Structures are given as structure tokens and as C-alpha cells.
Amino acid sequence: DVKVTQSSRYLVKRTGEKVFLECVQDMDHENMFWYRQDPGLGLRLIYFSYDVKMKEKGDIPEGYSVSREKKERFSLILESASTNQTSMYLCASSLLLASSGNTIYFGEGSWLTVV
Amino acid sequence: AQTVTQSQPEMSVQEAETVTLSCTYDTSESDYYLFWYKQPPSRQMILVIRQEAYKQQNATENRFSVNFQKAAKSFSLKISDSQLGDAAMYFCAYRSARGETSGSRLTFGEGTQLTVNP
């Protein structure tokens, strides 16, 4: 079974703090994604990566950055956390080729509260 | 850009009955994939069913089936013989079939919260 692990399930951070959300997958997937989930808005893509050190902006990248130094690990960074970044963050991974309809697998999510 | 719309924020169904969740999408592409994901209270996203746009036959997975209307850009999910464990948030999602990396992303709808009444 594919496993996508998000290291922190629940975090409480102060406004202005730098926050790291870590994600690791164990199936040698090329693609990794960070989504944000908010009520009534569904899941919105923040950033994704299709290879080590490669990244592309999603729909809502403002206030976020990412790092992918190793294939299995994809980190989401909030340089200076703000209260409007309080949300549920979901990491996901998949094989590279979209044309084969590869399934995207999700982690269990990280609840971030910024106070 | 593709968009996915779920117009039903909440739905409820009696146990053992059938319920249909609606989803519409907008795209200029001809080849793509559509998905329904289930998110129970544990928040783990679970793939329920997948449909390839080039296939005319509607996908089925046990009690779950879809009604895929490509011309109308509609992709509804039917849950038959509803069970208490079906209670969850359900998301409709779109994925391009283009080969380049930007086509790998999923675009989600807003979600439909399904309640199953005993």
C-alpha cells in the first residue's frame, strides 16, 4: 500500500512564526502536492513538484514556499504565519504520467491553527 | 483553467436507500479523468471511483456508480443501499490526461457533506 505520511497532525503556531509542514511518501512517486482545505472551498492546490528541486505554483501560492531536496520528501513552508493560514493542509503524491490516469494518494492532513 | 462545481453542500439519505450527488465541470479538453473521493471524519481521502473521459461506459464499484454525461459536462455519483459508513464529505475532482507535468494536478469541487440516517 502507498503511504503518504504527514509528520504533524495538529499544530498551533503564533502569528509571524516560520512553520514547516513535512510530508514523506514511500512509493517512489515523482509527483507531490500540497493542498489546503477550507469549508465551502474544497481543496485548493498550493504548490506541486514533479521532480527533485522542481516546483510549480498552484492556485494559491501566496504566503507559501516549498522544498523538495529528496524524492520522497516535500515540505511546505510558511515564512511568516498569519491567522488566515489557519486551515487543514493535505499532502499527496502520484506517479508522473497524467495520461495514464494514475491515482493520487493523500496523507491524513495537518491541522494548523495560527493564533 | 478547469473548474469543478458541486452545487449541493449537504445531502442526507436513509440507511438502505439510494442517493445521488451532483457534479459539473468545465473544460476545453477532450481527454481527462474524473474522480469521486470520500473524506470520512478521520480526514483520510479515499478514492471511491474513477472515470476515463474516452470511455462511454459508466464506471461502477460495488454500490457506487456514476452517470457520466460528457456533452453536458456532468458527473454524478450514485450510492445504492446506503450504509452508515458512507457518511462523509464527498469531493468530485478533475484531472487532465495531458502528458506534461502541469496536467498531473487534481482540481476539486467544493464538496458535499453526506449524512446517513439510521
d(CA A42, CA A38): 6
Q: Which of A45, A96, A106 shows the shortest C-beta gap to B105? A: A45
pLDDT (tens digit per residue) in A43-78: 999 999 988 989 999 999 999 999 999 999 999 999
Share of chain A above pLDDT 90, in %: 75
Rounded Cα–Cα distance for residues B44 and B107 (Å): 17
A46 contacts on B by Cβ (under 8 Å): none
Task: Return the pLDDT at A103.
Answer: 79
Provide CB contacts within 8 A for A28, sequence distance 6+: A71, A72
The alpha-carbon gap from A82 to the nearest alpha carbon of chain B, in Å, equals 23
Q: What string of H, E and C letters represents the secondary structure of B8-20?
A: CCEEEEECCCCEE
Q: Is the pLDDT of residue B99 over 70?
A: no
Mind listing the pLDDT tens digit for each residue in B42-85? 888 999 999 999 988 999 999 999 999 999 999 999 999 999 99
Q: For residue A50, give the nearest of B44, B104, B109 by CB distance.
A: B104
Write the secondary structure of B72-100 as one string of H (helix), E (strand) and C (coil): CCEEEEEECCCCHHHCEEEEEEEEECCCC
Cβ separation B33–A101 shorter than 8 A? yes
**pLDDT for position B100:** 61
